[in-house]
Structure 1
């Protein structure tokens, strides 16, 4: 089985058409069709449903497509790294992080540590959920993953056993709301059953959602929240809060400017704040000189209080 056969299958899955996929792969259609047939013979199953228009993948084909994408991406990344090594370039360390950390925390932290030229954001990660970061570390797609992490004990369905981490900072989710023309909060906590607070929530599958759910469950009084929408991204939730559609919990760094100019204000006191650590993870089995050197430097530093 050759890598180009896997690339053929990805092209066919994308175009759902043998002729178009063959053109993309710069081969004749008979040659292309023969390669797909060889793939099916090698795997011992039918991967393509040829009775539908456009073509569709069988359930086995869907599973095989995920494998193809993982392998070809791994080969591409390795090829790029080897080219850098061959050219004598010092390899930069790729770090995956949610958009709110890329925009706020990471630039400040890199500058304070003197790491600006050694690390680069892995931008494909901005749409990931929590589990995606650890899957990417496992397959070597990125070197490091920077995550929010609950300080309170929280049930997380994440396998981090192959990874180690350093705590590089702290953050807290604070409840915020838009303001009236007079500067008063549109929403205040606690609310009541008769008038629950309109809440722009995070899905529970994300680390922020899990941390917030755990914190609210431990509060002594009824929170009286009414979920108006769910969104994985703090930046998107912030825009809706600014428009007055509801209140939410946002990382404090992301709303400092708005709190200072009065376009946002706190919806509740510090009892409602959710403490978070900022953890930097790496896979224990993946090594290269630049990553190992940086990790050693981090390990010699005292963790932030």
Structure 2
């Protein structure tokens, strides 16, 4: 599929007329019509209802329009990001992290260092699969990854085998929580001898936190069954559904501190929580001066944590 066809299609939707759209796209009408037909042939469905005046979209055309706009926006944003990174060269640190870490530890630990040091950053990911972070660092798609670490996780193993450097910046708690009732107790939870299955908001198989959650369920609450209401790769999405009362689930404490403090969420059972490390990884062969500057600041944070 040619990106030009998507722009042609968007112009035709705006103009609702082949002649005006062709003029807008600075091409002859026959050539413009051929490109729209080529787009329809490539997709395998008819997008334009040519029997109406002004032109209308078929049901498939309506669906395709929304997706075409997303593709065009993504294309333009990608070009802009590439141009920005290329222009900045070695002054830009490309960082990859899950969305939940951007909103918590990245903001509190890394942002102050980049601001004080005048270091430009380019942020990547949010919903990547766990192993995509490793691949991105190995292939130099990014300079640093910020990640959760727990003994049950194995996706970071290839970095440790290859002697990539890492620092522990903070510790977090992975807690089972539920929406609070009016009396302030957890709406869902586990009880000794409980027979009713507990609704669980789970992480998808690609999430780094899935193995931690599954380990807690297997080891600590075997007597009571759970049923998965929904699976999601993002901790923020799991949090949103817990707040709406769909069930309980495990979340990093740093992500729900406000909700725990104001009583919207309650811990199901503190004994079912476990510790998480917040780590940063980099390739020691990466020679960016700005990365060395940032790493020096991160080492100071890591050293203070271990004292």
Q: Structure 1's 183 and 153: CA in aligned 2 closer, same or farther, altered over 3 A?
A: closer
Q: Does 1:194 align with 2:195?
A: yes
Counterpart in the other structure of 1:159: 158
Q: Structure 1's 15 and 243: CA in aligned 2 closer, same or farther, altered over 3 A?
A: same
Counterpart in the other structure of 1:55: 42
Counterpart in the other structure of 2:34: none
The SS at the match of 1:148 is strand
Superposed structure 1 runs of 4+ greater than 6 Å apart:
12-17, 25-28, 73-78
CA distance in 1, matches of 2:266, 2:241: 14
CA distance in 2, matches of 1:81, 1:144: 15
The SS at the match of 1:302 is helix
Q: Does 1:243 align with 2:244?
A: yes
CA distance in 2, matches of 1:79, 1:187: 49
Judge conservation of contact 2:85–2:122 (CA < 8 Å) in 1. no
Any unmatched runs of 5+ in structure 2? 13-24, 29-37, 45-76
1:269 Cα offset (Å): 2.2
Q: Does 1:147 align with 2:147?
A: yes
Counterpart in the other structure of 2:102: 102
Judge conservation of contact 1:169–1:278 (CA < 8 Å) in 2. yes
What is the RMSD of the two structures over their aligned residues, measured on CA atoms?
Answer: 4.0
CA distance in 2, matches of 1:278, 1:303: 14
Judge conservation of contact 1:131–1:158 (CA < 8 Å) in 2. no
1:251 Cα offset (Å): 0.7
Count of paired positions: 256
The SS at the match of 1:211 is helix
Query: What TM-score does the superposition give when structure 2 sets the normalisation length?
Result: 0.67
1:115 Cα offset (Å): 4.9
Judge conservation of contact 2:178–2:268 (CA < 8 Å) in 1. yes
CA distance in 2, matches of 1:114, 1:53: 48
Q: Structure 1's 56 and 247: CA in aligned 2 closer, same or farther, altered over 3 A?
A: same
What does 1:5-24 correspond to in 2, within 5 Å? 11=3
More helix by share: 2
Counterpart in the other structure of 1:210: 211
CA distance in 2, matches of 1:279, 1:206: 16
The SS at the match of 2:174 is strand
Counterpart in the other structure of 2:179: 178
Larger mean CA deviation between 227-236 and 288-297 belongs to 288-297
The SS at the match of 2:282 is strand
The SS at the match of 1:207 is coil
Judge conservation of contact 1:199–1:246 (CA < 8 Å) in 2. yes
Q: Structure 1's 16 and 201: CA in aligned 2 closer, same or farther, altered over 3 A?
A: farther
Map Cα deviations across residues 186-205 of structure 1 (whole Å, 9 max, x no partner).
Answer: 11224656212111111232
What does 1:37-52 correspond to in 2, within 5 Å? none
Q: Structure 1's 76 and 241: CA in aligned 2 closer, same or farther, altered over 3 A?
A: closer
CA distance in 2, matches of 1:239, 1:170: 23
Counterpart in the other structure of 1:302: 303
